[in-house]
Amino acid sequence: MHVLQEDGYTQENCYSLHGFPSKTANVSQADTTKSKFTEDEYQEYLRLKCSSLTQSSQAPNTSTTCISQSIESHNSWVIDSGASDHISGNTSLFSTISFQDKPHFITLANGSKTSSKGVGRVILSPSLTLKSVHFVSNCPFNLISLSQLTKLFNCSVTFDHKSFVIQERGSGRQIGKGYEAGGLYHFGSRPRVSCVAAPSPKVLHDRLGHPHLSKLKKMCPELSGLQTLECESCQLGKHVRSTFPKKSLSQCNSSFSIIHSDIWGPSRISSFGFRYFVTFIDEFSRCTWVYLMKDRSELLSIFTSFLHEIKNQLGRVIKILRSDNAKEYFSSALSAVLISHGILHQSTCPHTPQQNGIAEKKNRHLVEIARTLLLGAHIPVHQWGDALLTACFLINRMPSSSQS
Ligand SMILES: [Zn+2]
């Protein structure tokens, strides 16, 4: 028992009055601001001492506890090897509690004292219920006494630098576990962190494939106040858009009824043998499929597999294929496939790529984003194939400006 030195009470006479403590303190640095023995509690203590002298009856029980540091959470339970009792300042954590007239005094590790106003039961988990937890009002922490725990549950507690487990002795059955945080061992599972860190707007812009600021704001509403976003890669990688109609004239109302397609290439620099790519864009959802090609003649096999994939995986059929006049779209083999599946082939007037606006725009967008990704990450140009697939992946997951 730690001793109050004021008013003539010394360690010796205090012990003689109340007996020596049965429990010991584990002293370490403590939070003195939140757990000070207040003037009222001190007066109450003196009053009780007088009454105990006159009545010569039971002295208040005294026990000790160690508080390593202040603990923010009112719900988290911390394992404490210096605590002689389980204590909590949050009545909502108790399943049952009985308030007592005679306070049970608890001496904190820094020498300050506080009194328990009640004792109750706390269910930590289905396999672990603490039966005598002391309620200390205004106590900013919940402590599990390690000694009480191991004694009452006949268990062992194994710690490592990140976690601990509580196991029944003999059977080895795990009855509890916890995690380390801020130098303390908390009972239970580590709380899920919803946002690990807030990356800067520029980092978000880079990671999401350099979208336009307005699109970035749609995805990250917290950036709504952002006026401008400087990005050198965007300035280098993106050209000024030119005259394509803003919206295709026809508006389809179901997915896969109209598929737009366009072949891009050849690229001056091959990407692991690939010099071309072909896109298939669903007009309704603007969802895009990109396939890398070594030769334009691969269009037939790629389109056939795309057709089967849509049918098999999504249960949808393609009704119309729109393309420009590239000769690969008019090969007899592809025409036969289209006819056999009842797909209408619509092509644009010669020398008017604008009519194939959706596919042309999408290809331009894909190439711009791929180039910007390469520039932003200082990746050699011959990796453009992977950058293109990444660009498609990102664009497919972003709000489309053509969709309301
Ligand atoms: Zn950018």
Lowest mean pLDDT among 26-30, 93-97, 142-146, 298-302: 26-30
141 in helix, strand or coil? coil
- Whether 209 and 373 have beta carbons less than 8 Å apart is answered as yes
- Average pLDDT over the chain, rounded to an integer: 78
Pick the residue with more confidence: 168 or 354?
A: 168
Distance between CA 390 and CA 396 in Å, rounded?
10
Q: Which among 67-81, 185-199, 319-333, 352-366 has the top mean pLDDT?
A: 319-333
Distance 397 CA to ligand 1 centre (A): 17
Distance 268 CA to ligand 1 centre (A): 24
Task: Give percent of the chain with pLDDT exceeding 90.
Answer: 31
Task: Give percent of the chain with pLDDT exceeding 70.
Answer: 73
Q: Which among 191-200, 210-219, 324-333 has the top mean pLDDT?
A: 324-333
Reported in sequence order, the residue ranges of 174-216 that DSSP labels E, i.e. its strands, are 174-181, 184-187
Going from N- to C-terminal start, the domains of the chain cover 6-147, 231-396
Answer yes or no: is pLDDT of 62 > 50: no
Distance 207 CA to ligand 1 centre (A): 9
Residue 292: enclosing H or E segment and its boundaries? strand 288-293
| Of 79, 100, 103, 68, the residue nearest 153 (C-alpha) | 79
pLDDT category at 2 given cuts 50, 70, 90 is very low
Distance 359 CA to ligand 1 centre (A): 23
Distance 214 CA to ligand 1 centre (A): 13
In one letter, which amino acid is 333?
A: A
pLDDT of residue 281: 94
Distance 404 CA to ligand 1 centre (A): 24
Distance 202 CA to ligand 1 centre (A): 8
Distance 287 CA to ligand 1 centre (A): 22
Answer yes or no: is pLDDT of 370 > 60: yes
Distance 288 CA to ligand 1 centre (A): 21
pLDDT of residue 73: 52
The pLDDT of 315-332, averaged and rounded, is 92
Pick the residue with more confidence: 349 or 346?
A: 346
Distance 402 CA to ligand 1 centre (A): 21
Distance 234 CA to ligand 1 centre (A): 4
The pLDDT of 101-129, averaged and rounded, is 79
- Model pTM score: 0.48
Distance 210 CA to ligand 1 centre (A): 4
Distance 395 CA to ligand 1 centre (A): 14
Distance 206 CA to ligand 1 centre (A): 6
Distance 254 CA to ligand 1 centre (A): 33
Distance 300 CA to ligand 1 centre (A): 35
pLDDT category at 17 given cuts 50, 70, 90 is very low
In this predicted model, what pLDDT tens digit does every residue of 68-104 receive, in sequence order?
A: 444 445 678 999 887 888 888 888 888 888 887 777 7
Distance between CA 355 and CA 334 in Å, rounded?
21
Distance 92 CA to ligand 1 centre (A): 51
pLDDT of residue 55: 38
Distance 203 CA to ligand 1 centre (A): 9
The pLDDT of 262-270, averaged and rounded, is 93
Distance 215 CA to ligand 1 centre (A): 12
Neighbouring residues of the ion ligand 1, judged by CB less than 5 Å: 210, 231, 233-234
pLDDT of residue 90: 84
pLDDT of residue 192: 65
Reported in sequence order, the residue ranges of 109-183 that DSSP labels E, i.e. its strands, are 113-125, 128-135, 142-145, 155-159, 163-168, 174-181
Answer yes or no: is pLDDT of 106 > 90: no
Distance between CA 392 and CA 362 in Å, rounded?
9
Distance 366 CA to ligand 1 centre (A): 14
Answer yes or no: is pLDDT of 290 > 50: yes
pLDDT of residue 202: 87
pLDDT of residue 38: 55
Lowest mean pLDDT among 76-85, 313-322, 335-344: 76-85
The pLDDT of 377-389, averaged and rounded, is 94
Distance 10 CA to ligand 1 centre (A): 73
Answer yes or no: is pLDDT of 241 > 60: no
CATH of 231-396, one of 3.30.499.10, 3.30.420.40, 3.30.420.10, 3.10.300.10: 3.30.420.10
Lowest mean pLDDT among 103-107, 117-121, 139-143, 175-179: 103-107
pLDDT of residue 321: 94
Distance between CA 363 and CA 370 in Å, rounded?
10
